[in-house]
Structure 1
Amino acid sequence: MTTDTLKRNNLLGALCAFSAMVCVSFNDMAFKFLSGGYALHQIVFLRATIGLVVFAVVVMPLNGGLRVIRTRRPWAHLLRGCFVVCANMALFLGLAAMPLAEAVAITFISPLLIAVMSVIFLNETVGPRRWAAIIVGFAGVLVIVQPGTAAFQAASLLPALAALLYSSMHMVTRRIRATESAPTMSFYTMLSFAVASAAFGLVFGDGRFAGGMHPSLEFLLRAWGPIARGDVAIIVTLGALSVLSSLLVSQTYRLSEAAFAAPFEYVAMPLAIMWGVTVFGTWPAPNAWAGIALILGSGLYMLWRESIRGTPTPPTQRR
């Protein structure tokens, strides 16, 4: 692979990461908005089902029909599906009990973990200045969540768990990118959501374990019910965006260095603040602003270092 190709792939991957985070940010806002009236597995099932329909009607015809779902790595897709389903479930349960900006801030451990894990598992190179930026970004997360305060309530551990699982999912993506296309990975991601949420709904969908408990547990165990007319458009949009965001995320880590693309996910932070203010009427606390500045500053510095270096470090992982 030539230097120009590596540079182009990294830039395309960064654009995919940015666009994916716009979709994911709406997804987070919508799940928090809907968490007071529906069961988590019901929303996930409807989103996945709509997404599979959109995939079959729009994506499959443009990518060779049924050939797009053929895979040489079924067990890798199963592992990746487990990671992404558990990561999303953990995050959505955290969102039910926490302010949106705080929950998203905790998940910013994920881009830092992706960069670190890319060194450990993929043999990619992260220079000392980028390591320093990663440390600063992690410090920003700590400033926002304030260890030892109310931010470290039990629910705050759920976005942290989501971050770890999300990072692990991206490591699997990097391992299978040579043989599996973005549409193929997107299909098996949505299929994983549909199967897992349907199974959970069969066991807990009658709501017999719900009633007067923690918001996260109530969201998890609430009974399935009819969808209000005003919420139909939100759920349909979630389904369509699930296809787009899954394709974009898969494409991000197929194209570019994990350590290069990860900082572009920081766009989710200002978007979370915007949704918090406009939809939920919540502003970040002063300490949160300081932490956000550290996180965004570290990400911008990493991007600046890439521009100074001229060409990103080629990935050296084994295929």
Structure 2
Amino acid sequence: MMRISLINSNVLGILAAVGAAVSFSIIDVTFKFLSQGYPLYQMVFIRSVVALSLLFVIIIPLEGGYKILRTQNIRLHLMRSLAVLFANISFFSGLAVLPLAEAIAISFATPLIVTLLSVLFLKERVGPWRWGAVMVGFSGILVIVKPGLDAFQPYALLPFFGSCGYATLHILTRRAGGSDKAATLSFYPTFAFLVISALAGVVFGHGGWATGTPVLDVVLKPWAWPEGIEWAIFAVAGVSGAIGGYLVGQAYRMCEAGLVAPFEYVAMPLAVVWGVLVFAEWPEPSVWLGSALIIGAGLVSLWRETRTPGPPPRPRPRSSG
């Protein structure tokens, strides 16, 4: 019975990770579409309003009611919020000055960093199969984007710093997942997004800080009111943010971080799909090969997990608030 329960838990966690990857890929598409006309803080603010509304009206009541927002790990959630804020600012600033494919390729260092940090800080055992899955998945990313020397210019450090921030978020999520529900894990970073983006809007919304430098004006350009269909696009980003935040919290609280990490590579083949459907960018043969490597790595990791006995160690969080 324990064996069946473990397999079901891991499979559900992996499915949650895939669902989160789908949700976050939708956010990437919407933000890419909107970024030419709107500052990052505005996109984050509107997304956070929609996401929090969905959390309060649907997700939190289904998970046990508003009492689940009470936590003994306030300090841990503050650290998670700071990590994801740092990650978003770093990644989207780099995206403004780097080619999209190169920025995404660098950002996919996240699963490698997660796997390493899970060994160092969570004391998880990551065997050769999981290391192999991560490395094969990453090789698929390189096959797809074929990064050249330009990817290693100084601005390339920005999406790498973003990767470090996201990896830290996932490790802290795993740390908090022993006692807090997924809706709780999703609420605190989303609320932090709302507060920080609102403050940024007050400070930068008038546009007086704009410099004409793309990497800075991602944050500094003025607030602009959406029109027509753009409101719907903002709403889609908000709903995707709520669902993705919930699912990624569920994934990292149910499974070892080293198991979940390779499934984040699913976002890359999804980017291919969005490129065809939204931007009419038909992929080259190398993209199909890379996508096969990414998907194959995830399937091998899943197959191996269903054959490995023993429940995953779940670190219990210390009280910090």
**Do Structure 1 and Structure 2 share a fold, with TM-score over 0.5?**
yes
Alpha-carbon distance, 1:226 to partner: 1.3
Decide whether the 8 Å contact of 1:51 with 1:242 is kept in 2.
yes
Q: TM-score normalised to the size of structure 1? A: 0.89
Alpha-carbon distance, 1:26 to partner: 0.5
Residue 228 of structure 2 corresponds to residue 240 of structure 1: no
What secondary structure, in the 3-state scheme, does the structure 2 residue paired with 1:279 have?
Answer: helix
Q: CA 1:66–1:177 in structure 2 vs 1: closer, same or farther (change >3 Å)?
A: same
The residue aligned with 2:48 is 48
Equivalent position amino acid for 1:208 in 2: G
Decide whether the 8 Å contact of 1:7 with 1:312 is kept in 2.
no
Residue 94 of structure 2 corresponds to residue 121 of structure 1: no
Equivalent position amino acid for 2:247 in 1: L
Equivalent position amino acid for 1:315 in 2: P
Gaps of 5+ in 2: 317-321
Alpha-carbon distance, 1:63 to partner: 3.5
- d(CA) in 2 for partners of 1:156, 1:144: 18
Residue 86 of structure 2 corresponds to residue 86 of structure 1: yes
The residue aligned with 2:76 is 76
The residue aligned with 1:33 is 33
- d(CA) in 1 for partners of 2:302, 2:235: 35
- d(CA) in 2 for partners of 1:106, 1:290: 19
Q: CA 1:318–1:49 in structure 2 vs 1: closer, same or farther (change >3 Å)?
A: closer
- Tell me whether 222-231 or 197-206 shows the greater mean CA deviation: 197-206
Alpha-carbon distance, 1:125 to partner: 1.4
- d(CA) in 2 for partners of 1:220, 1:282: 28
Task: Within 5 Å, give how 1:214-233 maps onto structure 2.
Answer: 214=214, 216-233=215-232
- d(CA) in 2 for partners of 1:302, 1:232: 40
The residue aligned with 1:106 is 106
For 1:125-177, what per-residue CA distance to the aligned partner results, in whole angstroms no more than 9, with x for missing partners?
12223323333434444555656522234443322222111111111111111
The residue aligned with 2:175 is 175
Identical aligned residues as a percent: 47
The residue aligned with 2:313 is 316
- Tell me whether 257-266 or 184-193 shows the greater mean CA deviation: 257-266
- d(CA) in 2 for partners of 1:64, 1:90: 35
Q: CA 1:183–1:267 in structure 2 vs 1: closer, same or farther (change >3 Å)?
A: same
Task: Within 5 Å, give how 1:237-276 maps onto structure 2.
Answer: 237-276=236-275
Alpha-carbon distance, 1:222 to partner: 0.7
Task: Within 5 Å, give how 1:290-305 maps onto structure 2.
Answer: 291-305=290-304
Alpha-carbon distance, 1:102 to partner: 3.5
Decide whether the 8 Å contact of 1:103 with 1:156 is kept in 2.
yes
Residue 3 of structure 2 corresponds to residue 6 of structure 1: no
Number of positions where the alignment pairs a residue of Structure 1 with one of Structure 2? 316
Gaps of 5+ in 1: none
Decide whether the 8 Å contact of 2:16 with 2:247 is kept in 1.
yes
Alpha-carbon distance, 1:290 to partner: 5.6
Q: CA 1:281–1:151 in structure 2 vs 1: closer, same or farther (change >3 Å)?
A: farther
Q: TM-score normalised to the size of structure 2? A: 0.88
Alpha-carbon distance, 1:303 to partner: 3.0
Decide whether the 8 Å contact of 2:13 with 2:255 is kept in 1.
yes
Equivalent position amino acid for 1:70 in 2: R
